Amino acid sequence: MRPSAAALATTAAPTPTHWCEFDAPIGPLLLAGSCGALTLVHFQSGPRPWRPPGQWLQQEQPFRPAITQLREYFAGTRRHFELALAPRGTPFQLAVWQVLRAIPYGQTMSYGEIARGLGRPEAARAVGLANGANPLPIIVPCHRVIGADGSLTGFGGGLPIKRALLQLEGAACVSDLFSDQQRT
Verify that 59 and 138 share a domain, yes or no.
Answer: no
Answer yes or no: 142 catalytic: yes
Stretches in the chain below the pLDDT threshold 70: 1-14, 174-184
Domain containing 150: what range? Answer: 91-183
Verify that 101 and 52 share a domain, yes or no.
Answer: no
For residues 165 and 73, what is the distance between their CA atoms, to the nearest angstrom?
Answer: 10
Query: Of the listed 20, 35, 142, 173, which one is catalytic?
Result: 142
pLDDT confidence of residue 9: 43
CATH number, domain with residue 34: 3.30.160.70
DSSP string, 40-72: EEEETTSSS-----TTSEE-SGGGHHHHHHHHH
pLDDT confidence of residue 174: 60
For residues 52 and 66, what is the distance between their CA atoms, to the nearest angstrom?
Answer: 18
Residue 146 falls inside a structural domain: yes
pLDDT confidence of residue 89: 96
Residue 169 falls inside a structural domain: yes
pLDDT confidence of residue 153: 87
Q: Residue 30 pairs with which residues in a beta bridge?
A: 21, 42
Residue 4 falls inside a structural domain: no
Residue 7 falls inside a structural domain: no
Number of domains in the chain: 2
Tens-digit pLDDT profile for residues 126-174: 999 999 999 999 999 999 999 988 888 888 888 999 999 999 999 987 6
Verify that 96 and 176 share a domain, yes or no.
Answer: yes
CA 49 to chain centre: 16
